[in-house]
Chain A
Amino acid sequence: MIKITQWTVVCLVLCLSISTAFSQGLSPPANVTAVDTANDDGSSITLKWDAAPEDSGISGYQILRRIADGDLEEIGELLPAGTTTYVDSSIEKGSAYAYAVRAVSETEATVDSEQTAPVKGTGEWFHTGKISLFTAMLLFGAVIVWNIYYARSGKDIFVRRIPGLEAVDEAIGRATEMGRSILYTLGLGRVDDVPTIASMTILGQVARRTADYETPLRVPCRDPIVMNVVREVVRTAYLDEGRPDVYNEENVFFVSESQFAYAAGVDGIMLREKPAAIFLQGQFFAESLILAETGNSIGAIQIAGTDSEHQLPFFIAACDYTLIGEELYAASAYLSREPMLLGSLRGQDWGKVLIFITMILGVILELSGVNWITTLLQKVN
């Protein structure tokens, strides 16, 4: 029994000596600095340290953090060897933190670096890394504003034929002749989604025509806020046409926020009310084919439009007309012929010409071994 105890003590001493020897061989991470992360909202601090030599025996790093007078505590997972930076995103704004980096060997021996000076996370008003993007946006914005002024000066702006939009009057006329309603769905988008905003502008134009013809316009909504805004859009359209008496608030209604409950509800409305024309304009997801197929099965004339590239094939397959991607955004200018929208459309075309030129020039330059266009595009991103 005494022998076993003696052997155990000897083994423990040996282990301790080996681990101490190894830990003495490890060098602590050098030049550890902690600075407030640039261009953020003050919610992170960035740590940097020098890379250790390959034969240093370091198998990973553990970050240690201390708040005010507290003790150092481990944060995050063990970082792999070779790491030289760490972003601590779990800080509280306004609190000062000091850090140390612990080098860990394969035998789990450890050695800590010196502690950094305490650092606070502070937010920046301007993201300097986005200046190139900001400049590009200003350029595009200037082109669009110039074109809007051009359109407002009374000069005629040509807009090419968009078959899906020429069918709008046909669809409304058909519904009026048949004495049936028109169903307009804006899809699943929120009020701040660009396709929903574009769809509301088209809805305004459709509502003007339905006000004239006294054709019932039914708008089932998925989002309560969208519903409120849509009611305003439709009401304003009816007022502008001098037909507030025809406007019925109940025709713009909420169904459900759940994607498939909404689809089931709209399908039910299609089957029971049998609208003569269906507009599917906005942001759609997996429910697109369910809606378009049901509309097709009741024989309604369907005009769809979305920028969701995965849903466009279904609309093309099941609807009479489909507005593809940007055609949805061009629709409002096409239908209303308002100088501001027409000018904006022309400005966007100029932007496309700029992209076209950049692309062709970029290809020629890349083939000649000059890569400043790709470098510039990289900077913008």
Chain B
Amino acid sequence: MSASACAPGPAVKRVRPLSLASKQAMFAYAIIFPTLAILLVFRFLPMLQAFYLSLTQYDLVHPPKFIGFANFVDLVQDPLFLKSARVSLTYVLFSVVPVLPLSLGLAVLFNRSLWLKNLLRSAIFMPVVMPAVVMAVVWTFMYQQDGVINTILGWLGIDPIAWLRSSASALWAVILIGIWRATPYYMIIFLAGLQAIPADYYDAAKMDGAGRWASFWNITLPLLKPTTLLVVVMNVIVAMKVFAVPLIMTGGGPGDATRVLPLFIYQTAFEFFDMGRAAAMSVFLFVGVMLFSFIQVRLFTRGEELR
């Protein structure tokens, strides 16, 4: 700034360099402290406790009883748990894989000048805005035997589907909602990724006589690789955590057709009050989420040296 203001600055620093630096460090510690405290108490502590609880038998009434790895041994032999894990895996796989081409395709379509572009983009974005519980209620209504979806299918000559009432279709009905909600979300992320690709690359490719497809395969896709990886990872994590929609729409049924892992954990803990077993299930879920989150965190911090 002005010379007079600048002059005493370094002088003061030279006289008491430590105290000023440590004053600033104190401030830095102070402002990060509330964040650390909350995260330690409400994230890390529960995780540690989950590991401990998973080794116990605990019903909220009697004190926890240490039973070693019995919960885990039980779980891997429990057909209900294995079924739940399978349902979760199916949900994850089939709600993640279609979203990838759908959201990328939409993003590519939107990545050009277009009449009413903003309006259309906002319209397609709307599912992200609908609360999960509302979504569950509205889709349950649409999935009724004589509801709007079966009516529309009827126009196409397709017989009515029992959707939520049949264990063969219930999971697919839930997956469809997941896709409806996730696609616009990742479309936005892909769109941001697409817009970050310099137009020069495409111009240069055009000069070399490359067509639309060629530039898509040789420029767009390779440059979108980090974004694609991130979309997959985020989507897998979100899909592993799905809870409200199956709980409200089917309660995990019919039978156990839609009992995803978080729902089973919830029921084990808060309907059957088997906290130890629920914690052991959480550990399984944690391992799954952690694998993918780890990639996400690595993507977020790539090229950075963490000091």
A binds B: no
